[in-house]
Amino acid sequence: MNKFMGRSTLMGAVLALGMQQVVAAGSEFIENLPQLTPDPDRAGAMIWQKPDVDRASYTRVMIEPITLFISPESEYKGLNADELKALADKFREVLTKSLEPEIPVVNQSGAGVLYVRAALTNVKVAKKKRGLLGYTPVGFVVSTATGPTILLKDAALEIETLDSVSGERLGVLVDKAPKTAEAKDLSWDSIEKTFAFYAERFKARMQAAK
Per-residue pLDDT tens digits of the chain, which is 210 residues long: 444 334 434 333 333 334 444 444 568 899 999 999 999 888 888 999 999 899 889 999 999 998 888 888 877 777 667 777 877 888 899 899 999 999 999 999 999 999 999 998 887 776 665 444 444 454 444 433 332 233 466 788 899 999 999 999 999 999 875 555 555 555 667 777 888 888 898 889 888 877
Q: Which residues contact 51 (CB under 8 A, 6 or more apart)?
A: none
Q: Are 175 and 42 in contact (CB under 8 A)?
A: yes
Distance of CA 142 to the CA centre of its chain: 20
Tally of structural domains, the chain: 1
Q: What pLDDT does 109 receive?
A: 96
Give residue 74's identity as a one-letter amino acid code: S
Q: What pLDDT does 156 receive?
A: 85
Nearest to 170 by CA among 162, 159, 178, 179: 162
Q: What pLDDT does 59 receive?
A: 93
Cα distance between residue 179 and residue 139, in whole Å: 11
Report the relative pairing of strands 105-106 and 60-63 from DSSP bridges.
parallel
Distance of CA 159 to the CA centre of its chain: 6
Task: Tell me if residue 162 falls in helix, strand or coil.
Answer: strand
> What is the extent of the structural domain holding 21?
3-209
Task: Tell me if residue 154 falls in helix, strand or coil.
Answer: coil
Q: What pLDDT does 36 receive?
A: 94
Cα distance between residue 107 and residue 38, in whole Å: 32
Q: What pLDDT does 168 receive?
A: 97
